[in-house]
Structure 1
Amino acid sequence: MAAANIERFNAVTGAIFASLYESFPVDCDLEAEDFREQLQEVPGEEYLQRHEIRFFVSTVLWLAEHGYLSTGSPLSSGTVVRCNLTATTLELLSALPSSLNNKGPSLGDQLVTATKNGVTEKVKDLTSELLSKAAAFGVRAATDWVNQ
């Protein structure tokens, strides 16, 4: 089992990808508060804790630093402005698994659906697989994996 911070990172990352995929190509301001469900260590708290906001901003900045997102500046409120998917991430999220004979939903569509339906485990699993393949084998291998 993955460490708790990795599980939370995957859940937050999947929700971020879903949000940006849904709004592409329009830039979005990502606000920590919008990802409360994925961020909160203690569900039901009225406000996000400072370390939860820091975790969110750190996640967005890490994704940008590693080429998954383009971003503007982070604000002290926990918002990162002018965020969008890079062409590489869009390509990966738009890929259709060949096992579905290209008739099923893309990875991005699956992330959007799982995020909206609160299926956190599915979001974490999809995100973990996507990031693992992209990092280990490069974008081309990740796209080949999706299409195998």
Structure 2
Amino acid sequence: MLRKIGVISDTHIPRFTQLPEAIWDYFAHVELIIHAGDLSILGVIAQLETIAPVVAVQGNVEREEVTLKLPIKREIVVGNCRIGIVHILGEATQYAQTARREFPTARVVIFGHSHNPYNQEHDGQLLFNPGSATDRRRQPSCSIGLLTIDDEAGSVQGEIIALNV
């Protein structure tokens, strides 16, 4: 079975007034949305849940309502794929070591914080940062991500999607 998972991070609502409309198109056929933190308010989850169920972790600039409800890190299983989720994975030069230490059996580790998209395999573990959906910082565009999990083949692929916002 092929599974599509939407991945988003660093939405920073209400600092940015709304989620980009393109999200509804890109995530229209996903079975799950993973938010890797810095939602700022829980209303972001409610908006995304109009598309698909949402699993999220807290980031480092959350309002109290978010920190009281969401964990700092979590691990889930989608099909045959174990996925670790955390907002801050540390320094870029240490991503692979930190991911393996924090999520030793995860096939994928999803993270945010830097606003820099990242989609690379490290010794059988896919490290995936979708970038920021609302704040491109030094990037050419805002971005989100899609994971495609193929249960039959036992594979997973990440795709970074640039948004024109």
Instruction: Using structure 1 for the length normalisation, give the TM-score.
Output: 0.32
Higher relative contact order (CA closer than 8 Å, sequence separation 6+): 1
Structure number with the higher helix fraction is 1
Instruction: Using structure 2 for the length normalisation, give the TM-score.
Output: 0.30
Structure number with the higher strand fraction is 2
